[in-house]
Amino acid sequence: MHSGFVGTEPAPQQSRLDVVVALVLFAGTLAYLSTLPRILGPSDEGLYLYNAKRVLDGDVLYRDIYDIITPASHYLMALAYGRGTIEQRLAGWLLAAAERLDTDWLSITHDTLSQVLGARRASVTVALHMLEGKQALRRERSRIRILNNEKLALAAGPYST
């Protein structure tokens, strides 16, 4: 009696279909992951930077740190944000926030900026002072007005959006 399963190979059309489905799923996943920074917003960058710093300090993902983003994202974030100056990171974040909110006025404190950027508050104050000296922005109490996007983008360097 022949069962039909012994020695049978999948039809070539079925294996091609499997490959096409796998490629479509992979492409869809990449497309979704590319939208995460816009979905999560600029405030989550500080959390990702903090977790990336912990990875660089020797903590192990999913044992010491749990997050919904992939481990590679933490390493990429550590590589990208760990090398820039606080002035560059701040200028890039301010540009991104102003663009997303579609305004030149940002109501935010130095303390909140320090948490978002994973930096000391004093470092943020110095960086804001430097950007103000370049006439890229003007500070007021709990408010920042972006005066010149081009100067801010120049200060942001690789962190410009």
CA nearest neighbour of 109 among 99, 92, 88, 124: 124
* pLDDT tops 70 at residue 145: yes
Residues 141/107, Cβ–Cβ less than 8 Å: no
pLDDT in tens, 89-105: 899 889 988 888 889 99
Domains and CATH numbers, the chain: 13-81 (no CATH), 85-159 (1.10.10.10)
Residues 6+ apart with CB under 8 A from 74: 48, 51, 52, 55, 61, 65, 67
pTM across the whole model: 0.54
